[in-house]
Amino acid sequence: MTPRGLGKCPSCQAWDSFVEETEIVTTSPLHRVIGQHTNQPEKISEVSTTDVERLLTDMPEFDRVLGGGIVPGSVILIGGDPGIGKSTLLLQASHALSRKYGDVLYVTGEESINQTKLRSTRLGVTSENLYVLCENNLEQIEKHIDKLQPKSVVIDSIQAVYLSDFQSAPGSITQIRECAAQLLICAKNKNIPIFLVGHVTKEGTLAGPRVLEHIVDTVLYFEGERHHIYRVLRANKNRFGSTNELGIFEMQNSGLVDVKNPSQLFLSEREEEISGSVVVSSMEGTRPLLLEVQALVVQTHYGTPRNTAAGVDRNRVALLIAVLNKRVGLDIGDSDVFVNITGGLRVDEPGIDLGVLMAIISNHRNIPIDSRTVVIGEVGLGGEIRPVPHLEIRIREAAKLGFKRAIFPDYHKKGVDIDETIELIGVKNIYDSLSVLL
């Protein structure tokens, strides 16, 4: 913060990155939210709890990411790149909620009523209880909420609404923050859920969902490659559930459809018996996902060798290549290495290490790995294979999908107790894995 505008930021050197903000003198909604401390301390053992009844949409993937349904009175932010499908998702959810629980108000601040109507026709949204309001002024929106008394509200988007008490433009940090605080008060007072749509821009210069993360109860991100049909809904913060859950959808011509068996889907286009392809298992929340890792190792012809990774951390791949070099003597320092998780999914879990590593060696030596084998394990710097959480669940999922063999950390060998028929092979280090797989 500086008292005057600067062309160039002295700390990050970016040009034109300063945004003017007016100091807030009135009591803003944000102050009211923070200033409501009149409660007395209570003994935690004596605090009575009432189980809140969550609202359910007909979209199991959506409900699961929210921690098993929508908590009334909560404010849920859905962030994501423009065009990824946020409006589509919320229109479908509103349709389901309105049919089940009563009136829902969908406020569109960006698109006209006609555009929303066109989309709803495409999606087959026909509910009698779904109301659309084209409005940007939050005071007006609140009046309509008071009048309609809806069971749920969607604000599409938070960047498009404003409070007239503040002079800055819609989409500025002040407006976004104050409007969200105002809506939080509204949600708590009326005990209804309010969904906020927030755009994330690539440059991050526009005031986006980041400033809201502290105010709202739940932050969901809707992600995916625009040119892929899969969309992933991920919880980034959730006061009412775990943040590990993933919801997977397919964007079709008639809207978003829940993907019931994601593992099957991610493996469906697999070529059998090609080198550099390995099936791994990644835990996403309580659910194991079987995914295909592909690697390509090619001699660099000119320039410096590069690592390119899609869906996995590039530094993790570099580390695995270093371990291969030191422990197995595999020198691919003069090659370009490409690693990819098919289907456009991103995985941050170390449990796929061994699979990535085996895919690299398999392609380098041009020897395919048996396509009915799933590879699980974290790789340590010493070349040892380290244990992973939830091993049994992962193996069971693989067995269910017809996999014949599971390679996993030897540490678990004694503990694994499963009924399915699948060959279980524990490995202690990379050498073991190599002799089993290649």
Positions touching ligand TYD (CB under 6 A) are 80, 82-88, 119, 122-123, 251, 253-255
Q: How is the beta sheet containing 246-252 ordered, strand by strand?
A: 130-134, 104-108, 152-156, 194-199, 75-80, 218-223, 230-238, 246-252, 255-258
3-state secondary structure of 404: coil
373 contact choice in Mg ion, ligand TYD, none (CB below 5 to 8 Å, kind-dependent): none
Q: Does 88 bind Mg ion (CB under 5 A)?
A: no
80 contact choice in Mg ion, ligand TYD, none (CB below 5 to 8 Å, kind-dependent): ligand TYD
Residue 87 or 433 with smaller CB distance to ligand TYD:
87
Judged by CB under 5 A, the residue of 57, 87, 174, 182 near Mg ion is 87
Please tell me the distance from the alpha carbon of residue 98 to that of residue 90, in angstroms, as a whole number: 12
Q: Does 92 bind Mg ion (CB under 5 A)?
A: no
Q: How far is the CB of 197 from Mg ion (least distance, A)?
A: 6
Q: How far is the CB of 195 from ligand TYD (least distance, A)?
A: 12
Q: How far is the CB of 158 from Mg ion (least distance, A)?
A: 12
Please tell me the distance from the alpha carbon of residue 431 to that of residue 362, in angstroms, as a whole number: 14
**Residue written as token pair 């409660």:** 39
Q: Which residues lie below 8 Å from residue 405, measured CB to CB, with a gap of 6+?
A: 370, 372, 373, 374, 422, 423, 425
Q: Does 182 bind Mg ion (CB under 5 A)?
A: no
Give helix then strand counts, H and E, for the chain. 11, 18
Residue 254 or 268 with smaller CB distance to ligand TYD:
254
Q: How far is the CB of 95 from Mg ion (least distance, A)?
A: 16
Residue 118 or 381 with smaller CB distance to ligand TYD:
118
251 contact choice in Mg ion, ligand TYD, none (CB below 5 to 8 Å, kind-dependent): ligand TYD
Residue 81 or 349 with smaller CB distance to ligand TYD:
81
Residue 395 has which token pair?
Answer: 């193996």
3-state helix, strand, coil in the chain (%, to 5): 30, 25, 45
Please tell me the distance from the alpha carbon of residue 426 to that of residue 241, in angstroms, as a whole number: 34
Q: How far is the CB of 42 from ligand TYD (least distance, A)?
A: 42
CB 376, CB 350: distance < 8 Å: no
Q: How far is the CB of 223 from ligand TYD (least distance, A)?
A: 11
Residues near Mg ion (CB under 5 A):
87
